[in-house]
């Protein structure tokens, strides 16, 4: 795809910084899991470009809903890394006071309405959020990220039908990383693509290179523009790849080949963006290295903060869990 959108240097640098920060955060999260501080985690390494390109167009009052694999969504939406890492470790200083963990991070103040461990469950919620914006007369946008596995859930089709009828400001972003756990997309999806399903609901769709943040930025920008203008939803199939296993402890080479992994890792979104910044002279090698160092330091500080934070008191067990109505 030829990129036609003009992107200012500050935005280019922001997108690179976000992707590097996500990569370093996920690497640290895996180290925490390997050390036994949390029971597994769903790494988004390899998929960083998808939410970064889309969220580059969002405001704090726009909404994002995620999946069981949502650390990259949260970081791209601007959540605090210290609070995120503390949440992973079940600490009281976490985004959810240690009660949500890796699959249920949320921060309403940043428009992150929550990750969710139930496959496909946030799709109708995001559609309802889009309906809320329309009823209230705002130009807010609702974005839901989901995987190729969730694309086969009935919730997606019900949600797209309503979003198409009512022209809701909802973006359906499918991160097609080729595997629903270990099931290849070729075995589980009928048709030429997932994106083509949107035509049945009169929703425009596009297939994007999810390993190219510039392409994700251009496609995401047009989808957000349409939503704000009242033109309705867009379906984006971002073809991407997760480098690690489904949840960190499994070996993906039991269901895919080394050659396939090498191919996708050779198209790494972070390295491609780094090359773009250098080739276009947006940043020098020293400036790029400084961004890398800052991202690493920020993640190391988040890990320290989480380690030093206390666990919730036992008296807080039911706080924010149950509610009493008058």
pLDDT, tens digit, 9 for 90 and up, residues 185-202: 999 999 889 999 999 999
pLDDT class of 221 with cuts at 50, 70, 90: very high
Confidence of residue 250 (pLDDT cuts 50, 70, 90): confident
Report pLDDT for 39.
84
Q: How many CB atoms lie within 10 A of CB 109?
A: 11
**E-only strand ranges, the chain:** 63-65, 112-114, 142-147, 170-176, 179-180, 183-184, 205-209, 234-239
- The CATH architecture of the domain made up of 9-308 is 3-Layer(aba) Sandwich (3.40)
What's the pLDDT tens digit per position in 122-173?
999 999 999 999 999 999 999 999 999 999 999 999 999 999 999 999 999 9
What are the domain boundaries of the chain? Answer: 9-308
Query: What are the phi and psi torsion angles at 129 (to 5°)?
Result: -65, -40
What is the pLDDT, as a whole number, of residue 321?
81
- Burial track 299-320 (b if 16+ CB lie within 10 A, e otherwise): beebbebbeebeebeeeeeeee
């Amino acid at each position: 795809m030829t990129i036609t959108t003009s992107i200012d240097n500050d935005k280019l640098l922001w997108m690179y910084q976000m992707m590097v920060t996500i990569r370093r955060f996920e690497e640290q999260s895996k180290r925490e899991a390997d050390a036994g501080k949390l029971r597994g985690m769903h790494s988004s390494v390899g998929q960083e470009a998808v939410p970064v390109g889309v969220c580059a167009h969002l405001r704090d009052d726009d909404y994002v809903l995620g999946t069981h694999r949502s650390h990259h969504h949260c970081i791209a939406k601007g959540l605090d890394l210290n609070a995120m890492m503390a949440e992973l470790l079940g600490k009281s200083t976490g985004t959810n006071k240690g009660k949500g963990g890796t699959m249920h991070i949320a921060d309403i103040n940043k428009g992150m309405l929550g990750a969710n461990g139930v496959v496909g469950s946030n799709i109708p919620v995001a559609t309802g959020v889009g309906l809320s914006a329309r009823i209230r007369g705002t130009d807010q946008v609702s974005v839901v990220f989901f995987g190729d596995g969730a694309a086969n859930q009935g919730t997606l089709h019900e949600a797209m039908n309503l979003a198409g009828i009512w022209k809701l400001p909802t973006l359906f972003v499918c991160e097609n990383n080729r595997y629903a756990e270990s099931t290849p997309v070729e075995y589980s999806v009928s048709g030429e693509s997932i994106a083509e399903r949107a035509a049945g609901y009169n929703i425009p769709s596009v297939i994007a290179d999810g390993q190219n943040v510039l392409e994700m930025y251009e496609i995401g920008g047009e989808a957000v523009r349409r939503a704000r203008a009242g033109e309705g939803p867009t379906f984006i199939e971002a073809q991407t790849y997760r480098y690690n296993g489904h949840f960190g402890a499994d070996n993906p080479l039991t269901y895919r080949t080394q050659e396939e992994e090498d191919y996708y890792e050779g198209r790494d979104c972070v390295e491609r963006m780094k090359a773009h910044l250098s080739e276009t002279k947006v940043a020098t090698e020293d400036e790029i290295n400084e961004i890398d160092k800052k991202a690493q330091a920020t993640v190391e500080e988040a890990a320290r903060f989480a380690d030093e934070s206390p666990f919730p008191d036992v008296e807080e067990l039911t706080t924010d869990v149950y509610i009493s109505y008058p």
